[in-house]
Structure 1
């Protein structure tokens, strides 16, 4: 896909694909809520009803966590152009990792806040990295804004056995995928490529048998 400005139809298609991705990721927790409510309506045993309430609470929390994550990763949360406290994306990533004991998170961020584009890139990188760790491993997230020129540098590394990474996502990250080839899975990567190109920045990745490394350099606006 060219890094040039998207046409109106392409922009609409990209938005549609991002919505499809959101719906796909929300289907499981929302479906669990629906199933839990059906079970609760039929269950009479007090102990089982209590268990149903626990499952409903868990599904509701998972749904809320994912919506908050995607609102900032894909949407316009936080307004336009300002810096976002580092604590916000950190909390969102930790919430998605809750219950995933096989993934160990390491966090190294310079400063208390990052530009919005950097935060969106960091969140999307983290999502790609989490999905790559199908058998667990370590997730290292680092970012800083250089004091000399305001350039944001982001590195996310997923290391573990059997790294799962679709080369089509890598092509979309580097702007090499044709627009007609995009899917709901690769649309977030294409969105990041467009955002980076608009700032004069760049994205890249490296894949080995042991690790996936995602990097971004985003000039200050």
Structure 2
């Protein structure tokens, strides 16, 4: 993990990359809603109204889920300073809906600070992203000796970290590759690092493990 202050991205650049990621995440369901509405208005496609309505409903649910997730994982658009694990679980589950990987939530009832909640949701989603071929993303959160340990274990065929994600998790700025594959992992590292914690990862055969430790 790098601690060189020169490698830290300034706020404006960080906001630019995060905005790009969120726009990318939102455009697919938003575009699908627009396509469904176009079908509804097309006189020659009235036999597809039920299909169009199904597309609109499914895409609306996905968009709302992504927005609710992003409000906690990236923003501060909530006045809550503490989050219960029961509050975070549906947000975590929402980003696995329709994914090849399944979420195994192994978190006992507890509370998280806003930075801890932000870190945990990103860690959960990145654990799932490490399973392009499907598998199980098991996540845990445990307090011990004044530290909260957040862990995600991705087990499945072809479990892997993309090079850009590994770069971000190490706290390094992107020099080559796709920024969209890098920014979330860097954001996780930045969130953990800025609040006095550490972030690490290991990659083995059909397994990727992400571990963050943050002060309670």
With normalisation by structure 1, the TM-score equals 0.86
Q: CA deviation at 1:204?
A: 0.4
Check whether the contact 1:3–1:194 (CA below 8 A) recurs between aligned residues: no
How far apart, CA to CA, are the structure 2 residues paired with 1:210 and 1:180? 27
Q: Is the 8 A contact 2:40 2:46 kept in 1?
A: no
1:51 matched residue in structure 2: 51
Distance in 2 (CA, whole Å) between partners of 1:29 and 1:216 is 31
CA distance in 1, matches of 2:103, 2:65: 17
- Return 5+ residue gaps in structure 1 as ranges: none
Unaligned runs of at least 5 residues, structure 2: none
* Residue in 1 that maps onto 2:179: 183
Q: Distance in 1 between matches of 2:43 and 2:154?
A: 43
Paired residue for 2:88?
Answer: 89
TM-aligned CA deviation for residue 28 of structure 1: 0.9
Cα gap change, 1:118/1:48 in structure 2, threshold over 3 Å: closer, same or farther?
same
Higher relative contact order (CA 8 A, sep 6+): 1
The answer to whether the 8 A contact 2:39-2:45 is kept is: no
**Shift of residue 107, structure 1, vs aligned partner:** 1.2
**Counterpart position of 1:153:** 149
The aligned counterpart of 2:11 is 11
Q: 2:136 aligns with which of 126, 138, 143?
A: 138
How far the C-alpha of 1:10 sits from its partner, in A, is 1.8
Q: Could you tell me how far apart the structure 2 residues matched to 1:219 and 1:153 are?
A: 9
Q: Secondary structure at the match of 2:88?
A: helix
User: In structure 1, what is the equivalent of residue 40 of structure 2?
Assistant: 40
- TM (normalized to structure 2)? 0.88
The alignment yields a C-alpha RMSD, in angstroms, of 2.3
